[in-house]
Structure 1
Amino acid sequence: MKTALHLLAAMMLLLAASCQNGTPQETNNPQETGTPQESTLIIEEKDGVTLLCHGDKPLVFGWVDLENEMSADLFRGSYNDSLLAALMPTGASRSAINAYMAIDSVHKVLFDAGLGADRGGKLLENMKKAEVDPSEITAVCLTHLHGDHIGGLLLDGRAAFPNATLYLSQEEYDAWKDGGPLAANNALWKQVMAAYQGHIVTFHDGETLFDGMVVAKLAPGHTLGHTVYEVGGICLIAGDLLHAQDLQLEHPQFCARYDADPEQATAMRIRIFNELRDNGHYLAGAHCYKHFINLKDLSKGIRE
């Protein structure tokens, strides 16, 4: 018996056909419509997944790996502590750990893989609920190599996605291949490299992947080789471009302590936010509790 997600995906494919004709149909629970064109539809579904559809573009899924919070302490001293206290009166901001998947008629591409089940990650559990077989994933694009993005690549020490090739920037690969700044992360990455030996591909800024479905764009600051991915001309898989949605979307000057180069990370965040506001593509952040965000909806401009 097909799950609600399968039925929803089938419905989205039908909607895609109608979107091509410029006549999107109504759904039972649409989240929003609009950008990049009026035919874009977002439909939320339980079991930790959100679907994005736009005409003949790839279907993009947002998966919840873990819901959590970001402490205000992570941002203290980065910009304006008085404003921080006013914006985060409880001392924390709602957050999450997400992964994304884009599919077309040929490719099933995962973007990041979360923490891993042994650390509480629910990506594989949510994929199973949706009857998405990890063995069907053809590629995993990594925004960077921190543990909450690569931990889910392993299951009992083996490749959780046995038929997938890993993609990451050459800069990120070089930064970690001989040992990066986080010892625990070094050990985890070595395990991942062993599990996916012979199936790791590196790229450089601006390269097009998967027959044009994805464009990889270097966005350093959080890490040396941090990468964002433009998918189907409809959304940007943004990785750790931001960590606290409610804080940094309106005030991108705030920077989390996780960022290796705060000045570069802040400049990159502001630049990309402005680009997304202008082109209407959705922001899909690794730590945003809302999977697909339209920056045109922000009450304030970003240009600073």
Structure 2
Amino acid sequence: MGKWNYAWLVLAGAWMLGSCGGNASKQDSGQASNDSSEVGIVQTRQVEEVRVTWLKDNAEDKLMPASLFASASDSLIKSLSLEAGIPSSVSTFWVETNGIQVLFDAGYGGTAGHLLAGLDSIGVAPEDVKYVYLTHFHHDHIGGMLNGDSAVFANAEVYASKAEYDGWMAMDADKKAEVEKLAEAYKNRLHFFEFGDTLPGKVVALKAVGHTPGHTVYQAGKLLIIGDLIHGAALQLRHPEICASFDMNQEEAIQSRTQFLQYAKENGLTLAGMHLPAPAFMAPPFDF
């Protein structure tokens, strides 16, 4: 087993030790908690004044094939013991900050996604969701926003970067179709921000383009929600210059990934990533 695989197993094991029984204890305790069920694991962590709950959207364990990282040599993959794949996840986050609750991204939706079951396990119904902040418009982040043509979160104010929306609207019709459906379903409650804006809950939207035209990282206190800056942590933490094939502009993606990893390290920020290995958190100190 490579050292990065081992490090992630140790991290996951440490989180599992914070297990609490029942939804009430998860909501009232300031400690990490988990709930093992058919939909995976739900875990909550207090990051100073911000409370964040990880909601696993994928049902099975997820490995990113090494072939998705074309610039990674076979020898590098072998040296990290990643031949079978790179541990990952499809994740969303429920964050309580400055008196409001925000859902960050919405997973796959449909039968593939388990966000609603995860929310239910912490006592949150779709109509309870008042704010949704989107990192970008790939299907595994916005699929859960829609049930057919209808809004899943009927009372939610939805925020995304204007650069992201404009970028997708410039794409081919088949690529932008889901984004258009999203815009129509939430048309009176869809808000576009500029990078650097502070959103409700004192959440700051930060420019992290490259993966998509308007990919956004969000900072709430000492919590940094990094979206898809990282797809294969065991590889990319030490080699941020390596991109997954999903990155639309690889040069910009490398710049954003390098910048925010350094920013998190210098400022002691906890990372929450939509494709970090379960439980999709990384807490300082970092050794990358």
TM-score normalised by length of structure 1: 0.80
Moved over 3 A (4+): 41-45
- AA of the residue aligned to 2:194: H
1:227 aligns to what? 216
Selected match of 1:202 from 174, 186, 192: 192
- AA of the residue aligned to 1:52: R
Q: Distance in 2 between matches of 1:263 and 1:176?
A: 19
Contact preservation (8 Å) 1:50, 1:291: no
Shift of 1:249: 1.5
Tell me if 1:180 matches 2:150. Answer: no
1:75 aligns to what? 69
Contact preservation (8 Å) 1:4, 1:130: no
- AA of the residue aligned to 2:171: G
Query: Structure 1: which 5+ residue stretches go unaligned?
Result: 13-40
Contact preservation (8 Å) 1:85, 1:91: no
Q: Distance in 2 between matches of 1:209 and 1:164?
A: 14
RMSD after superposition? 1.9
CA offsets 1:55-94 (integer angstroms, 9 cap, x no match): 4x13111110014210100002x24442123324433111
- AA of the residue aligned to 1:84: I
SS in 1 for 2:91: strand
- AA of the residue aligned to 2:150: R
Selected match of 2:205 from 216, 224, 229: 216
Q: Distance in 2 between matches of 1:282 and 1:42?
A: 14
- AA of the residue aligned to 1:69: L
Selected match of 1:294 from 276, 279, 283: 283
Shift of 1:152: 0.4
Shift of 1:244: 0.8
2:127 aligns to what? 135
Tell me if 1:236 matches 2:237. Answer: no
Tell me: CA distance 1:180–1:6, structure 2 relative to 1, closer, same or farther (3 Å).
farther
Contact preservation (8 Å) 2:107, 2:142: yes
Tell me: CA distance 1:263–1:80, structure 2 relative to 1, closer, same or farther (3 Å).
farther
Selected match of 1:148 from 135, 140, 144: 140
Query: Structure 2: which 5+ residue stretches go unaligned?
Result: 1-20
Shift of 1:258: 0.4
CA offsets 1:105-159 (integer angstroms, 9 cap, x no match): 64221110000023x1111111122221111111111100000000000124321
Contact preservation (8 Å) 2:132, 2:158: yes
Shift of 1:194: 1.6
Identity among equivalent pairs (%)? 35
SS in 1 for 2:33: strand
Contact preservation (8 Å) 1:277, 1:294: no
Selected match of 1:4 from 22, 38, 62: 22
Aligned residues: 262
